Amino acid sequence: EQLLMTTKEVRATLSDLDKKHIIHPVASPKRHVSQGPKIIFSEGKGIHVKDINEQVFIDGVSMLWNVNVGHGKKELAQIAHNQMSQMAYSSTFYGYANEPAIRLAEKIASLTPGDLDTIFYTSGGSESNDTAIKLSRFYWQLNGFSNKKKIISLKRGYHGVTVSAQRATGIDAFRNFSGSADPEIFNAKAHLTECELGDKSHPEYPGCIRSMIEEMGSDQVAAVIIEPIQGAGGVHVPPEGYLKAVRQLCDEYNILLIADEVICGFGRTGKMFGVDHWEITPDLMCIAKGITSGYIPLGGVVMNNRVAGTIKEYNDILPHGFTYSGHPTACAVGLKNIEIVEREGLVENAHQMGKELVKGFKYLGDKHEFFTNPRTVGLLAGFDLKKDPSLNVPFDQSTQAAVSIVEECYQRGLLIRCFDFEPGMNIVAIAPPLIIQKEEVETIISIVDDALSVFSKKLKG
């Protein structure tokens, strides 16, 4: 019967079923029920995705910054098939183990900086951050500092939606959703860029975190958690020297440093990890997304010997873990995915294509008066739209500047994302798969160029 239906009819049926049965994350439920799904995806290949009506789009943000090796890698399907055929799932509770989880742990230890050599597996980014927060507190308990429970995070940091990750997130709507609480998590008033304080040689730099620690008392603080480059908060790159200063601050006050590498990890920024740009080693590193390029859910917390060594001395049962911690199929896909990243030189390609994006942004900045504050680290990129960049005048909320650009790009077959969760904020993010080629970067720039021109024209009436 389905075969006789036109694709339009299939779409209408699926749309009705979706509206009836699914509540979508980060979408307006009411609008969804009235409008239905925006796109129903059916296929992906390289940097392109297709919907069920055969319309093709460039995936300009690698879906959720995660499809790093691009869509349609048959090798990853094959390795999942092989592992599933052999043994799809086994648990890692009670000391059970499996070869893919062991091999992947060894591989990750070889890639992460310093002595980040031990992993606790999770199923994604939020679980990794909650796990890192719990393990930090546990570390201090084991060392006899049970009062060290507080966690400091930054404004506009995004760490996920499980309760501790949610409360570490510095975006109000997410942080406050449903009133869930972890009262020991404190969000700084400043984000990465604002922490600069003007004078980088000033001993107070990075001042916002220092003053929070001093106010709380360092004997109360377990850890600071930050993204090396903030992603979902609007792509904010730390000022030079900032991460080193945070590392020193944590050492000075005997506080653990957690790096949330969920977006930055595995080549996104043109180095294997975000922290590699500033040559610092956190005590705990949270990974997910790019570890499998989104082909299957997987995450983890990688710990240095200081943290892992203490935990490895614990003789009771560790009451923490997820059914899918160390999932053999997910780990097999993770290993193969890293093999592809290395074999195809994708970290270097991200670096090179980032330079092409820089050129494109320069062109857009010269041409469009509203385009400002471009930032690009590898293939993690963003820009702002302002009414008058020279006087720092934002657009009125009603102008919906960033939303309009994203919509115009969508009309022209490019999927990108915008952030406008604070008054006056109009940020657009671009983060294509790391396999992207020069001509494809140019296509993205030319579509954004057209979108900006249409927006300008509309604005001027």
Contact footprint for ligand PLP (CB under 6 A): 64, 124-126, 129, 158-160, 227, 231-232, 260, 262-263, 288
H or E element, residue 48 = strand 48-51
Query: What percent of the residues of the chain are helix, what percent strand, and what percent coil, each to the nearest 5?
Result: 45, 15, 40
Give the E-state strand segments of 261-406 in sequence order.
284-287, 299-303, 371-377, 380-385
Q: Residue 264 Cβ, how far from ligand PLP at the closest point, in Å? A: 8
Q: Residue 297 Cβ, how far from ligand PLP at the closest point, in Å? A: 7
Q: Residue 129 Cβ, how far from ligand PLP at the closest point, in Å? A: 6
H or E element, residue 35 = helix 29-35
Q: Residue 160 Cβ, how far from ligand PLP at the closest point, in Å? A: 3
Token duo for residue 314: 């614990």
Q: Which is nearer to ligand PLP, 245 or 298 (CB)?
A: 298
Any alpha helices (H) in 269-323, and if so which ranges?
305-311
Residues written for the chain: 461
- What one-character-per-residue DSSP string does 410-422 give? HHTTEE-EEE--S
Q: Which is nearer to ligand PLP, 168 or 447 (CB)?
A: 168
Please state, in angstroms and as integers, the Cα–Cα distance from residue 342 to each residue in 266, 345, 444, following that order.
Answer: 10, 5, 25
Collapse the DSSP code of 303 into the 3-class scheme (helix H, G, I; strand E, B; otherwise coil) and give the result: strand
Task: With beta carbons less than 8 A apart as the criterion, state whether 404 and 448 touch.
Answer: no
Q: Residue 172 Cβ, how far from ligand PLP at the closest point, in Å? A: 17
Which strands sit side by side in the sheet containing 380-385, from one edge to the other? Answer: 371-377, 380-385, 427-430, 417-419
Q: Which is nearer to ligand PLP, 79 or 132 (CB)?
A: 132
Q: Which is nearer to ligand PLP, 100 or 160 (CB)?
A: 160
Q: What is the separation of C-alpha 154 from the centre of its chain, rounded to a whole number of angstroms?
A: 15
Q: Residue 67 Cβ, how far from ligand PLP at the closest point, in Å? A: 13
Q: Residue 165 Cβ, how far from ligand PLP at the closest point, in Å? A: 6
Q: Which is nearer to ligand PLP, 171 or 262 (CB)?
A: 262
H or E element, residue 103 = helix 99-111
Collapse the DSSP code of 305 into the 3-class scheme (helix H, G, I; strand E, B; otherwise coil) and give the result: helix
Q: Which is nearer to ligand PLP, 227 or 276 (CB)?
A: 227
Closest residue to ligand PLP, Cβ-based?
125
Q: Residue 298 Cβ, how far from ligand PLP at the closest point, in Å? A: 9
CA 304 to CA 311: how far, in whole Å?
Answer: 11
Task: With beta carbons less than 8 A apart as the criterion, state whether 177 and 167 touch.
Answer: no
